[in-house]
């Protein structure tokens, strides 16, 4: 069932668990995430970055594929298709393409401009029944060419953006996209706590879910995080399983070269990673 992310995140915040956003890259990825969500009876958010959208042939291709797959595979758990770190222009493209949720990342703008653009997009998204995520304080690391310094958000600015009526708010708390460096200082729970104190019921989003230790994830959920984004970890498990298949020479045996066989171990590896995260986030059985 394709829905906006608003209701599932309100329920997650009230129920003290988090819904996973898993970024998708192709048909296999999409099918792996959707079938695992169904098996786990968990709500799920499919994340699509601008780069991944372009790779798959455009936002409309992705939206139509997800809709068709939800229908054909009888996926009855709540599924949102969400633009990840969208520019102002990409937000409009995804609204037009049929996404059910968007993220406007205005974190690199001066706060007044972030507020003005976010407000406009909140009005448009809500008029059409989509949910919208905004960001304050950029997330560290590099994702699809977008480089952030990993700053901690100013809680007062978070409150200003939350008050615009967004459905979920990403606040930088020292989190980084991709693998965490050896000398990473960990999440700033002080910042998270201060943001939650000011934003109350607002579902908070933790980006850079890959490689954050389980105890930190649980503490973040206890401090109001209701959506956790995971991208790199599925890529790592997919690639490791594909490498093992090739290195074992399985592609050279019989019809082992068939792409459906070559991609099968990676597909199963994504499913295992998604299941593990859904269990950790507490969303299993919450559909």
- Would you tell me which residues interact with ligand 13P (CB under 6 A)? 23, 47, 84-85, 177-178, 207-210, 229-233
Smaller CB separation from ligand 13P, 167 or 233: 233
Residue found by looking up tokens 């222009």 in the block:
89
3-state secondary structure at position 165: coil
Nearer to ligand 13P, 245 or 277 (CB): 277
- Separation CA 126–CA 131 (nearest Å): 7
Six token digits for residue 220? 């973040």
Residues 83/168, Cβ–Cβ less than 8 Å: no
Tokens of 55: 């790779």
Of the residues 84, 90, 105, 167, which is catalytic? 84
CB of 35 to ligand 13P, least distance (A): 20
**Rounded distance, CA 44 to CA 32, Å?**
12
- Closer to ligand 13P by CB, 109 or 184: give it: 184
Q: Is residue 64 annotated as part of the catalytic site, yes or no?
A: no
| Spatial CA neighbour of 8 closest among 37, 49, 48 | 37
Residue closer to ligand 13P by CB (options 84, 157) is: 84
Q: Residue 80 in contact with residue 2, Cβ under 8 Å?
A: yes
Which are the contacts of 164, defined by CB distance < 8 A and separation ≥ 6? 115, 118, 119, 122, 134
- Residue 118 or 232 with smaller CB distance to ligand 13P: 232
The 3 state secondary structure assigned to 74-129 is CCCCCEEEEEECECHHHHHHHHHHCCCEEEECCCCCCHHHHHHHHHHHHHHHHHCC
What count of residues does the chain have? 287
Catalytic residues: 84
């Amino acid at each position: 069932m394709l829905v906006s992310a608003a209701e599932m995140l309100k329920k997650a915040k009230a129920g003290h668990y988090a819904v996973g956003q898993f970024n998708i890259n192709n048909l296999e990825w999409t099918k792996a995430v959707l079938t695992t969500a169904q098996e786990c009876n968990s709500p799920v958010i499919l994340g699509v970055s601008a780069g991944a959208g372009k790779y798959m042939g455009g936002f409309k291709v992705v939206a139509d594929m997800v809709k068709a797959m939800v229908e054909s595979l009888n996926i009855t758990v709540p599924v949102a298709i969400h633009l990840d770190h969208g520019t102002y222009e990409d937000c409009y493209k995804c609204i037009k393409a049929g996404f059910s949720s968007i993220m406007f990342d205005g974190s690199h703008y001066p706060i007044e401009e972030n507020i003005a653009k976010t407000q406009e997009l909140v009005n448009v998204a809500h008029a059409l029944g989509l949910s919208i995520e905004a960001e304050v304080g950029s997330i560290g690391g590099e994702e699809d060419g977008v480089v952030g310094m990993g700053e901690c958000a100013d809680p007062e600015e978070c409150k200003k953006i939350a008050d615009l009526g967004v459905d979920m708010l990403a606040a930088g708390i020292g989190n980084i996209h991709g693998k965490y460096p050896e000398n990473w200082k960990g999440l700033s729970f002080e910042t998270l706590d201060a943001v939650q104190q000011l934003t109350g019921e607002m579902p908070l989003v933790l980006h850079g879910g890959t490689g954050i230790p389980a105890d930190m994830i649980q503490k973040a959920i206890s401090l109001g995080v209701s959506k956790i984004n995971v991208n790199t970890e599925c890529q790592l498990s997919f690639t490791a399983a594909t490498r093992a298949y090739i290195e074992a020479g399985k592609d050279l045996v019989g019809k082992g070269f068939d792409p459906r066989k070559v991609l099968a171990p990676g597909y199963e590896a994504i499913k295992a990673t998604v299941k593990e995260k859904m269990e950790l986030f507490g969303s299993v059985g919450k559909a």
